[in-house]
Amino acid sequence: MNPFETLRFAVGGLAANKVRSGLTMLGVLIGVAAVIILLAVGNGSSQAVKDSIEKLGTNALTVSSGGGFGGSSAATSTKPLTVDDARALADPASAPDVESVAPEVTTSQTALYDGTSHSVNQVVGTYPAYFKASNSKVAKGDYFSADDVLNSRKVAVIGSTTATDLFGTASPVGRKIVIGGTPFTVVGVLDTKGGTGFQDPDDTVIAPLPTVQNAFTGFGPVSQILVEAKSADATTPAQNEITTVLMSQHGIKDSSALDFRVSSQASLLDTQASTNKTFTVLLGAVAAISLLVGGIGITNIMLVTVTERTREIGIRKAIGAPKGVILGQFLAESTLLSLVGGGLGVIGGLIGSRFTIVGIKPVVIPESVVGAFVIAVAIGLFFGSYPANRAASLRPIEALRHE
Amino acid sequence: MRQLLSGRLGRVRTGAHRAAGPDGAAAPVEEENLWGPSPVIEVRSLLKTYGHGDAAVRALGGPPDPVTGVSPGVDLVVEQGDMVAVMGSSGSGKSTLMNILGCLDVPSDGRYLLDGIDVGGLDEHQLSLVRNRKIGFVFQSFNLVPRTPALAQVELPLAYAGVKAAERRRRALAALSLVGLADRVDHRPNELSGGQQQRVAVARALVTAPAMLLADEPTGNLDSHSTEDVLAIIDRLNASGRTVVLITHEDEVARHAKRVLRLVDGQVVADVRQAPVDGPPPALRDPAVFAAHAPHALTSGGS
């Protein structure tokens, strides 16, 4: 019995029950395709996070009010961040690694244009340095200038989502929109950033700080201060300088009782990336379970096949089939099931990964394709070995008597 | 034992080539030793019981002696070239005997030498070799492998023996033409009549040129015409030297044998020789007389 003949017998055996073989293969197919697609989705979403880290600029640091987790209780009193704090940070003598500083206030308002109403996620009042630090580029028009800030002009740069919602395809530059009752002139539209989070970063309006304070938030504390370090390597010294400067501003002696927090964009995204990893592992686990279920399907069908063909096994044994040949025949059948199912699953998985799934462009991991296929075949061998062994161990006289 | 077995199997394998000739079967060539040709079957005090203790059922070997409590067992010697019919009513143990002789079942006690090999000492793999090369089975219910064309069916034992594809095909075709089915090689079992299926089974049994052909009620499921066909093939095989053991309960079938054994309750109660071991079986010795003595009109369709 050469391998080719064993294979021919196996094909014959599977072809005898086409629907049953097909359904069993479908189980493996779904398992393999699920592994490939779900891992590709997970990978695609972490890839998107990585891309947005690069988009945001790794030089940016965010200073926000309040201590760390539970840190606020350690602080005797929490002083809010102010424009004065920002001014102190901008002093090149005390903070030489800081490139620029942009205090921010944020609010949420409704924008109106020509009867169209749109609720803007984030209305940001800040300095022009914000654009560079947050890696926001304009697609149309221009940024507002330092002069606009000094004169509290009612100008705004809007995000791409806000622009399409309010203006459709028309160009918004130079038009007036009404935000929370105050008219603003649109001077620029930002490039689409795209995002993976729950908040759309493109649904935003950025206006000069005093204008927003005057119109909405009042001249109190700022929400946060965006600081840009001189280079990506300078973020750590810059972080230390910011801490020192703000401690003296807020009169804090104890470094463990800070009433503010300095975090880099990169570290925020690292958190998001690790969340993504958990997500990918979870997806992978679900897919692996479906692959396992496919494997159990193979065992089940092979057991049925062995029972059904007990008499045939008896005949083969009576005419001298050694144990190994019977074992080989049934193992070949189960492996063939998983091999064909796995192969079709790989094709299905690769095709499925070409579509965008819930807003995520899947990125196929080559190892997952090879891995899923190899595991599927191994499952066929492993789960087929029990029924095959049962068939091979049948005593010929009992197998022949089986009805 | 393994060495002896492989030596003997090797001899049978060379014999197989002769079987592929136009007559399909070889004259037995046994090296002459001190004791003459060894018998094909030699059975000594064979016992087969099912179950244990009080529930034990003696399928073979007869009831225990009231004095010693030991069953006498079955003793049987079948010479090369003989054609033996084992008769008995159902439950007489003839099927059990057949299964043991065919190495499908193992005896509870006793010795069984097949072509000089003590079968009791063989392991699973060696037994499969013995079944493949020493024994050709013909069953009452044909027992063909489903969905397999006649040619592949007959090639199967050769495939298990490791014969190359071309050689296998040649020998399978020769065996099929011997049973008169050269034009049915591509037919599957469900496309063949009962008689044709049984002839495929006979071709499959003799293709490996086994030491003996073991037939368990080979005509039990056949009409009279097919019965004649199959028995004629078996007669011819025996005439060319193949040892045949037939299990039957029909006198008409037993008439073809050179020797008739009668089993009752697992014991041989009669052993009648109808024709000498050497020479053709009764049906071919004097066909006209044989036909004239037919108990009923069976032969009218088979002439």
CA atoms within 13 A on the CB side of B27: 4
Task: Determine, for residues B128 and A397 on separate chains, whether the beta-carbon distance falls below 8 Å.
Answer: no
In chain B, which among 93-112 make CB contacts under 8 A with chain A?
99, 102, 104-105
pLDDT computed for residue B155 by the predictor: 92
Indicate the pLDDT class of residue B299, thresholds 50, 70 and 90.
very low
Indicate the pLDDT class of residue A49, thresholds 50, 70 and 90.
confident
When the pLDDT of each residue in chain A is averaged and rounded to a whole number, the result is 85
Q: Lowest-confidence range among A43-47, A144-148, B18-22?
A: B18-22
Q: Lowest-confidence range among A235-244, B35-44, B135-144, B250-259?
A: B35-44
The minimal CB distance from A320 to the residues B99, B143, B160 is found for B160
Which chain B residues have a beta carbon less than 8 Å from that of A311? 143
Question: What residue numbers bound the domain in which A110 lies?
Answer: 67-258
Looking at the domain assignment, is residue A58 inside a domain? no
Give the end of a domain, one of A224, A258, A292.
A258
What is the rounded CA–CA span in Å between residue B158 and residue B162? 6
In chain A, which among 99-128 make CB contacts under 8 A with chain B?
none
Query: If one looks up domain B2-27+38-300 in CATH, what number appears?
Result: 3.40.50.300
What torsion, rounded to 10 degrees, do the Cα atoms A362, A363, A366, A370 define?
-10
Indicate the pLDDT class of residue A44, thresholds 50, 70 and 90.
confident
Give the end of a domain, one of A233, A258, A283.
A258
The minimal CB distance from B124 to the residues A12, A320, A323 is found for A323
Task: Determine, for residues A16 and B162 on separate chains, whether the beta-carbon distance falls below 8 Å.
Answer: no
CA distances from A305 to A21, A331, A384, A396, B149 (A): 10, 12, 11, 17, 21
Task: Determine, for residues A315 and B133 on separate chains, whether the beta-carbon distance falls below 8 Å.
Answer: no
Phi, psi of A228 (to 5 degrees): -110, 125
What is the rounded CA–CA span in Å between residue B2 and residue B127? 11
Looking at the domain assignment, is residue A162 inside a domain? yes
Task: Determine, for residues A397 and B104 on separate chains, whether the beta-carbon distance falls below 8 Å.
Answer: yes
The answer to whether B97 and B86 are in contact (CB under 8 A) is: yes
Task: Kindly state whether residues A178 and A203 are assigned to the same domain.
Answer: yes
Pick from B145, B148, B163 the residue to mutate for testing the A interface (most A CBs within 10 Å): B145
Task: Determine, for residues B125 and A16 on separate chains, whether the beta-carbon distance falls below 8 Å.
Answer: no
Which chain A residues have a beta carbon less than 8 Å from that of B157? 319-320
CB contact A401 to B (< 8 Å): no
Handedness of CA B146, B147, B149, B152 (dihedral sign): negative
> Whose CA is closest to B103, among B124, B72, B76, B79?
B124
pLDDT tens digits, residue range B272-293? 999 888 888 888 887 877 877 7
Strand B243-248 relative to strand B259-264, pairing: unpaired
- What's the burial of A303, exposed, middle or buried (CB within 10 Å: 0-12/13-18/19+)? middle
Looking at the domain assignment, is residue A286 inside a domain? yes
Looking at the domain assignment, is residue A265 inside a domain? no
pLDDT computed for residue A197 by the predictor: 55
Does A376 or B20 have the greater pLDDT score?
Answer: A376
Q: Which residue of B has its CA nearest to A321?
A: B160
> Whose CA is closest to B162, among B128, B212, B116?
B128
How many residue pairs from chains A and B have C-beta atoms closer than 8 A?
65
What is the rounded CA–CA span in Å between residue A156 and residue A162? 12
pLDDT computed for residue A21 by the predictor: 93
Task: Determine, for residues A318 and B147 on separate chains, whether the beta-carbon distance falls below 8 Å.
Answer: no
Task: Kindly state whether residues A91 and A183 are assigned to the same domain.
Answer: yes
Task: Determine, for residues A318 and B124 on separate chains, whether the beta-carbon distance falls below 8 Å.
Answer: no
CB-based contacts of B206, cutoff 8 Å, min separation 6: B19, B24, B25, B136, B175, B178, B213, B237, B242
Task: Kindly state whether residues A231 and A312 are assigned to the same domain.
Answer: no
Task: Kindly state whether residues A234 and A103 are assigned to the same domain.
Answer: yes
Q: Which residue of A has its CA nearest to B155?
A: A319
What is the rounded CA–CA span in Å between residue B266 and residue B57? 11
Q: Which residue of A has its CA nearest to B149?
A: A12
The minimal CB distance from B137 to the residues A312, A319, A395 is found for A319
Give the end of a domain, one of A213, A236, A258.
A258
The minimal CB distance from B104 to the residues A16, A322, A400 is found for A400
Indicate the pLDDT class of residue A168, thresholds 50, 70 and 90.
confident
CB contact A403 to B (< 8 Å): no
Radius of gyration of chain A (CA): 33
CB-based contacts of B232, cutoff 8 Å, min separation 6: B283, B302
Task: Kindly state whether residues A46 and A77 are assigned to the same domain.
Answer: no
Share of chain B above pLDDT 90, in %: 37
Sequence spans of domains, chain B: 2-27+38-300
Which chain A residues have a beta carbon less than 8 Å from that of B104? 317-318, 396-397, 400
Q: Lowest-confidence range among A272-276, A278-282, A380-384?
A: A272-276
Alpha-helical runs (H) found in chain B: 2-19, 94-101, 124-133, 150-161, 165-178, 194-206, 224-239, 251-254, 282-285, 287-292
Indicate the pLDDT class of residue B303, thresholds 50, 70 and 90.
very low
The minimal CB distance from B160 to the residues A1, A12, A311 is found for A1
What is the rounded CA–CA span in Å between residue B32 and residue B38? 9
Task: Kindly state whether residues A282 and A392 are assigned to the same domain.
Answer: yes
Helix (H) or strand (E) holding A374: helix A366-392
Looking at the domain assignment, is residue A335 inside a domain? yes
CA distances from B202 to A257, B58, B234 (A): 98, 31, 8
Alpha-helical runs (H) found in A251-365: 265-308, 310-318, 323-352
pLDDT computed for residue B1 by the predictor: 45
- The conformation of residue B45, written as its DSSP 8-state character, comes to E
Residue position matching structure tokens 């046994």 = B30
Task: Determine, for residues A318 and B143 on separate chains, whether the beta-carbon distance falls below 8 Å.
Answer: yes
Indicate the pLDDT class of residue B296, thresholds 50, 70 and 90.
low
CB contact B56 to A (< 8 Å): no
CA distances from A43 to A270, A365, B46 (A): 15, 7, 71
CB-based contacts of B84, cutoff 8 Å, min separation 6: B78, B244, B245, B246, B257, B258, B259, B260, B261
CB-based contacts of A330, cutoff 8 Å, min separation 6: A302, A305, A306, A384, A387, A388, A391, A392
Q: How far is CA A120 from the centre of its chain?
A: 24
pLDDT computed for residue B18 by the predictor: 40
Amino acid at B46: L
Task: Kindly state whether residues A250 and A388 are assigned to the same domain.
Answer: no
Task: Kindly state whether residues A227 and A275 are assigned to the same domain.
Answer: no
Task: Determine, for residues A317 and B161 on separate chains, whether the beta-carbon distance falls below 8 Å.
Answer: no
The minimal CB distance from A319 to the residues B105, B147, B156 is found for B156
pLDDT tens digits, residue range B163-218? 898 999 999 999 999 999 999 999 999 999 999 999 999 999 999 999 899 999 99
Pick from A2, A316, A319 the residue to mutate for testing the B interface (most B CBs within 10 Å): A319
The answer to whether A63 and A81 are in contact (CB under 8 A) is: yes
- Map residue A141 onto helix, strand or coil: strand
Indicate the pLDDT class of residue B154, thresholds 50, 70 and 90.
very high
Task: Kindly state whether residues A115 and A242 are assigned to the same domain.
Answer: yes
The minimal CB distance from B160 to the residues A16, A325, A396 is found for A325
Task: Determine, for residues B145 and A320 on separate chains, whether the beta-carbon distance falls below 8 Å.
Answer: no
Task: Kindly state whether residues A211 and A246 are assigned to the same domain.
Answer: yes
pLDDT computed for residue B220 by the predictor: 87
What was the ipTM of the complex prediction? 0.82
pLDDT computed for residue A198 by the predictor: 58
A365-376 burial, b for 16+ CB within 10 Å, e for fewer? beebbeebbebb
pLDDT computed for residue A55 by the predictor: 66
